[in-house]
Amino acid sequence: MPATIVSPRLMRIGGGSVSQIAEVLGLFGLSRPLIVTDPWMVSSGTIDRCLAPLRAAGLAPAIFAETVPDPTDTVIAAGVAVLQAGDFDSLIGFGGGSPMDTAKAMAILAAAPAGARMRDFKVPAQADRAAVPVVCIPTTAGTGSEATRFTVITDTETDEKMLIAGLGALPLAAIVDHELTFSVPPRTTADTGIDSLTHALEAFVSKRANPHADSLALSAMRLIGRHLRIAYHQPRNAAAREAMMLGAMQAGLAFSNSSVALVHGMSRPIGAHFHVPHGLSNAMLLPAVTEFGLNDALPRYAEAARAIGVATVEDADQVAGSKLLEELRALNQELGVPTPREHGIPADRWEGLLPLMARQALASGSPANNPRVPEETE
């Protein structure tokens, strides 16, 4: 089946590249950006890494810093009001997946007729138009949102984390500077790192896998498999941070051109109902979901185990598949990933919401790409 491949028009990658933000905007004739970020970026002063080079180039950017984790439709509407009230020609999403997704969603909603809401764009709708171009600058090595055609927005009326897909969500450019991740604390390094590993693995075993996405997924798994633990234990290890940032971006490109699958389908309702950070809910699910589908795509999972570095070419696929499961469980153990109960989710609330979460997971479309597609009861 033919595959459509998309990626940002420009990606500037490397330590210190954030200082070139004004030049990157200039390449596209852009000079009046609205920066979308979160409150911590402002209170910690991290935003100055983006502001200072813009100001030095004579630009006067404005800041919308009201992004929340798991960005909501109400925050997007507030951001669109700011965007439309000013004379902006671009958006800069600066931060983790939440600010980047907020910027992308603002561009999509601002291009729609008055009265439109984010839910009008959720999959299977297509969100192909953007009011202004978006430049993304990630500060976590995780979501890959800087390179994907997706944004994930929570509907505050239904508590649904909606997947929104289309060219309107694809950034014009990305600046990928691993030095911005030195300050990421170990818990977030672990959660975002497992998120990126999940992207690469799901893209690779997806029913929508294709040779282009495969090459990116394999490269991402090689990088993440060898560097996630080091980045977790040694936050200022530049080589590990650089490898993780590149791996996260490649994993984003991989799933953007293939798909995510069952882990992400199940993870979104957990995030929406219990506000578990996105990467952490993926991590909670990854070993069990991998075990569930292992024998339905054994050669692929075995190849993934070899890329991650826990199996060799001499290992038979069944052996490599078992080693992959062992590694995913060991990684969760070493990175302190809790069970839902250990995370503080009461068992009765969890069990009460399971049927709804199962329905929401299946309705999102992602599980249909999994090597083994579960029934609602499973």
> Which residues contribute to the site for ligand NAD (CB under 6 A)?
38, 40, 69-70, 95-98, 101, 139-140, 142-143, 145, 148, 150-152, 180-181, 183-184, 188, 192, 195, 278-279
* Shortest distance (Å) from residue 97 CB to ligand NAD: 2
The smaller minimum CB distance to ligand NAD, of residues 97 and 293, is found at 97
- Would you give the DSSP letter of residue 113? P
**DSSP codes of every residue in 255-282:** HHHS---HHHHHHHHHHHHH---HHHHH
Angle in degrees, CA 122, 126, 127, rounded to 5: 85
| Contact (CB, 8 A) for 76 and 164 | no
* Shortest distance (Å) from residue 100 CB to ligand NAD: 7
| Contact (CB, 8 A) for 94 and 124 | no
Q: What token pair was written down for 62? A: 């404005």
The smaller minimum CB distance to ligand NAD, of residues 90 and 145, is found at 145
- CA atoms of 187 and 24, how far apart (whole Å): 32
* Shortest distance (Å) from residue 142 CB to ligand NAD: 5
The smaller minimum CB distance to ligand NAD, of residues 41 and 311, is found at 41
* Shortest distance (Å) from residue 196 CB to ligand NAD: 9
Residue 42: Cβ-neighbour burial (10 angstroms; 0-12, 13-18, 19+): middle
The smaller minimum CB distance to ligand NAD, of residues 73 and 101, is found at 101
* Shortest distance (Å) from residue 313 CB to ligand NAD: 31
* Shortest distance (Å) from residue 8 CB to ligand NAD: 12
The smaller minimum CB distance to ligand NAD, of residues 139 and 258, is found at 139
Helices (H), the chain: 21-27, 39-43, 48-56, 73-85, 97-110, 186-205, 211-233, 238-257, 262-274, 278-293, 298-308, 317-334, 347-363
* Shortest distance (Å) from residue 57 CB to ligand NAD: 23
The smaller minimum CB distance to ligand NAD, of residues 104 and 323, is found at 104
The smaller minimum CB distance to ligand NAD, of residues 96 and 287, is found at 96
Closest CA to 25 of 94, 86, 108, 80: 94
